[in-house]
């Protein structure tokens, strides 16, 4: 998947300015930046929901606008913060909705679809709650159902729009572990907008950092998760340490930094 010179205007405001990047087959590209930096706007453009004011998005060498709705849904899927449909559906019904791109106008699916849904639900531990209404589930259960739905869609490109925001730390790690395992097994390409820098550094192969609608840095977590860059982009200078198990750079926030800087100026 390649994005070249993507820009977006809303009236007189500029949300994105000339963003270019390539997500390689089988890798996870994380998109970071403070609130209002354009992360979600960029993801909506990549998904085809928003049309860029300038620039192009291509999947397998074709402009995203050239794909029909079902054809595009067989290429990419989006996992959002709150991705489930309204109340009234069971867990299994929601997971089966992921098969829509492969169904005929009569609702007939490809051979083996039911077995695929069963396998996904078993893998994510959803079989015991298959007949439960989704509005009766916990936050962690809902996100597993949402993940199962996009897995049933069998995309080649998965877009993540801060899917762990409303989860506790245990379910955040569980969700990202499920996605990483799926990515490795299926050769899936993942483009992830993430709020948590530490999660991004552990699960992403490369990072793209945005600020005020512009790309300011791109590289590996080891190259980008540095106190100087974090201070420049987020306005606070953290302590950066290597994770004791996997070596990924991790940040520790320091309190009172702004107060110290003000006293130094005085």
Query: Torsion-angle region of residue 41: left (phi > 0), alpha (psi -120 to 50) or beta?
Result: alpha
CB 30 within 8 Å of CB 198: no
Q: Residue 208 — φ and ψ, nearest 5°?
A: -120, 125
pLDDT per residue, tens digit, the chain (266 aa), is 999 999 999 888 889 999 999 999 999 999 999 999 999 999 999 999 999 999 999 999 999 999 999 999 999 999 987 666 666 899 999 999 999 999 887 777 888 899 999 999 999 999 999 999 998 888 889 999 999 999 999 999 999 998 888 889 999 999 999 999 999 999 999 999 999 999 999 999 999 999 999 999 999 999 999 999 999 999 999 999 999 999 999 999 988 765 555 555 55
Which CATH superfamily groups domain 2-265? P-loop containing nucleotide triphosphate hydrolases (3.40.50.300)
Q: Which residues contact 144 (CB under 8 A, 6 or more apart)?
A: 124, 125, 126, 175, 178
What does the alpha-carbon distance between residue 202 and residue 204 come to, in Å, rounded to a whole number?
6
Question: What length is written for the chain?
Answer: 266
| Confidence at residue 13, expressed as pLDDT on a 0 to 100 scale | 84
Is 53:44 a contact under the CB 8 Å cutoff? no
């Amino acid at each position: 998947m390649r994005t070249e010179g993507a820009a977006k205007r809303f009236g007189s405001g500029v949300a994105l300015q000339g963003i270019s990047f390539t997500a390689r087959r089988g890798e996870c590209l994380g998109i970071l930046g403070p609130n209002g930096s354009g992360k979600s706007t960029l993801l909506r453009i990549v998904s085809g929901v928003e049309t860029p004011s300038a620039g192009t998005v291509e999947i397998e060498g074709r402009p995203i606008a050239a794909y029909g709705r079902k054809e595009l849904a067989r290429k990419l899927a989006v996992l959002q913060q709150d991705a489930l449909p309204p109340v009234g559906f069971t867990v299994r019904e929601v997971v089966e909705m992921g098969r829509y791109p492969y169904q005929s106008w009569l609702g007939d699916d490809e051979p083996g679809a039911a077995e695929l849904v069963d396998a996904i639900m078993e893998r994510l531990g959803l079989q015991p709650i298959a007949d439960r209404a989704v509005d009766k589930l916990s936050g962690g259960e809902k996100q597993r159902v949402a993940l199962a739905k996009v897995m049933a869609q069998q995309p080649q490109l998965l877009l993540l729009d801060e899917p762990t925001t409303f989860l506790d730390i245990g379910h955040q790690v569980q969700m990202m572990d499920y996605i990483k395992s799926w990515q490795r097994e299926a050769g899936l390409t993942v483009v992830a907008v993430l709020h948590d820098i530490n999660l991004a550094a552990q699960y992403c192969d490369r990072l793209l950092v945005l600020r005020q609608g512009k790309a300011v840095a791109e590289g590996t977590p080891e190259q980008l998760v540095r106190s100087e860059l974090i201070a420049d982009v987020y306005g606070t200078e953290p302590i950066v340490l290597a994770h004791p198990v996997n070596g990924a750079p991790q940040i520790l926030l320091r309190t009172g930094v702004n107060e110290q800087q003000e006293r130094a100026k005085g």
